[in-house]
Amino acid sequence: MHWFFFTLFMIWTLVLVWNGKDYFNKKQWFLTGGMFVLVLVGTVVIGFTLKWLAQSMSLFSVATAKQYSIIFSMSFLCIWGLKVTVVLLCTIFSRIMGGHKSYNAENYEKISSVTRIVAPGLLIVAKCVVTLASVLMFSGLWLK
């Protein structure tokens, strides 16, 4: 069962990190904030549901229910945080380049010609680092 949830959360994270939607507009940022609130509400719902299953149906102990509610909520929070990390890195870089375009116009062409070459590779490296971080996080949560 642990391997199943590890694989499920890893696939979900890989799809979200590598789907190519690396820049958010204002509406998507609000939806991302809403997803964070949804993760927090989902944590409470998962916790109460597992506790209810443990007490009413005696499927497992309350301590086990508490352990799994923490693991599930941390997994959802990791998925959310890893996607936000990739989007924030892209947003920070684009804002820095926008600042150069506005306030450093005389050197912007030199900088932008270099970034057109370097930026795609750096994005792939950043996504690979986030992917490796997700493997570490989910293996620590599910495969301990």
pLDDT digits (tens, 9 = 90+) for 26-41: 888 888 899 999 999 9
Please give the Cα distance from 41 to 102 (Å, whole number): 42
Instruction: Give pTM, 2 decimals.
Output: 0.84
Please give the Cα distance from 83 to 87 (Å, whole number): 6
What percent of the chain lies above the pLDDT cut of 90?
46
Ranges of beta strands (E only) in 39-114 are: none
Q: Work out the average pLDDT over 112-119.
A: 83
Please give the Cα distance from 52 to 62 (Å, whole number): 9
* pLDDT exceeds 80 at position 23: no
> Max alpha carbon distance in the chain (Å)?
71
